[in-house]
Structures are given as structure tokens and as C-alpha cells.
Structure 1
């Protein structure tokens, strides 16, 4: 190392494992969600975040249309 390099120990306590092949998707990509699916997901997320959980439906969730 040169004198300009920071004083850092680059040796790890244990070797880093190789990347899993499952981290890399192969084949066709997933279809993008439609606007209706995005809206439904938003509504379900808002309902799931309410505590305590009630079985009533929310009248109008505050989802922003995208």
C-alpha cells in the first residue's frame, strides 16, 4: 500500500460466499401490473395497516392514482 491509502484492513474475518444462482433471474421477466392491479394492491395495503383489524371495508382509501 502507498502512504496515501487509508489505513484499512481489507482482510475479512471469513471469506465472502459466492453469489447464489437464485439471485439472478433467468427467462422471461414478470409482466408489469395494470393500473387496476396497482390500485387494488394499494387499497389492500392500506386496509392491512389499520389497527385494530376490522372486518369493515374502508369507504374511500387515500391512494394516489398513478
Structure 2
């Protein structure tokens, strides 16, 4: 029987390796290129995010 003090150093999420992806899982479509207005919007959002100071955790 395990107790909290004996399991303190064990990370259960990493106890077993992740199984391989199924060969049935794959992308069915190619990514389309971004339109000019989408590129412009992304650029504006990036510049806005870079100007703002990061929020610090309390």
C-alpha cells in the first residue's frame, strides 16, 4: 500500500511512455496560406503583445 510520503518523488504522469500515434491519424488537408488581411492582423497583434509589459504572477 502506498502512502503520500512514499510517493512524494514519483510523477505518475510520466510513469509509462506515451503510446505511438495511430497510423490512421493524419492530416487530411494541407494548411492554406494566410490571406493578406490575416497576415496584417497577426502582425498587428504581435506588435501589440510585444509592446505590453508581461503580467507577473503574484
For the aligned pair, the TM-score class normalised by the smaller chain equals 0.3 to 0.5
Larger Rg: 1 or 2? 1
Higher relative contact order (CA 8 A, sep 6+): 1
Q: TM-score, normalised by structure 1?
A: 0.38
Structure with higher helix content: 2
